[in-house]
Amino acid sequence: MSKLLRVGVLASGGGTNLQAIIDRCQDGSLSAELVVVLTNKPGVGALDRASEAGIPTLCIDHRGFSSREAFDQAVVTALQDAGVELVVLAGFMRIITQVFLDAFPQRIINIHPALLPAFPGLHVQQQAIDYGARFSGCTVHFVDGGVDTGAIIIQAVVPVLPDDTADTLATRILEQEHRVYPQAIQLIADGRISIAGRQVIITPEIPTKPVALVNPAISDRSSRDQ
């Protein structure tokens, strides 16, 4: 078996993305090993999911630190001690400082529940609904110094439906998150990803079907005439 990518997952909440990654590692479809799951909050679901899977856990409570940098340094040290090669943010509700970025250059990825660059930040499912967007989705991207601004690795699109609430839209988006996040990690594990400016290059290229999605659906002329 080829060498597994040593992944550290950072989470602050329930950890359904963490679970999807655990599941893919366990079924052998993801060539990664979760070497640590770290949270900034005690008692969150992500810690239970990791323990259940036999993954080492660590809680570093950000409230015990006088600055973001001091907190990040403690997190960096813990990740380095665990031999982490790729940092995966999965619902980690802290802004990353330069201390963290410098320790893991182009080695930190995040998943965001909107189609970036639309709707960065928080409460983005409600924002997409309020804006009247017809599509939303999720984005896996490298983390840089901005909020949800790094180079994009993969996106999935879902329609926004007329009776959607933030919760129903979030559920539909999460289903896609659980598919694309392991896929992005696998591409990195396989050494297929490089970054050129804002572009993420995948080698060899993955053929993409040039299929357009339309919402609300339209029928073309031929079907209208029938």
Using CB under 6 A, list all residues that contact ligand GRF. 11, 13-18, 90-91, 111-113, 138, 174, 177
CB of residue 84 to ligand GRF, shortest distance in Å? 18
CB of residue 105 to ligand GRF, shortest distance in Å? 21
Which is nearest to 173 in space by CA: 106, 103, 119, 114?
A: 114
CB of residue 138 to ligand GRF, shortest distance in Å? 6
Q: Judged by CB, which is closer to ligand GRF: 1, or 112?
A: 112
Q: Judged by CB, which is closer to ligand GRF: 5, or 47?
A: 47
Distance CA 198, CA 213 (A): 25
CB of residue 15 to ligand GRF, shortest distance in Å? 5
Catalytic: 112? yes
* Residue written as token pair 């410098």: 102
Q: Judged by CB, which is closer to ligand GRF: 14, or 73?
A: 14
* Residue written as token pair 């009776």: 163
Q: Judged by CB, which is closer to ligand GRF: 41, or 112?
A: 112
Kindly report whether the peptide bond that precedes residue 159 is cis, defined as omega within 30 degrees of 0.
no
Q: Which amino acid is at 89?
A: L
Active site residue: 62, 112, 141, 178, which one?
A: 112
What residue number has its CB nearest to ligand GRF?
91
Active site residues: 112
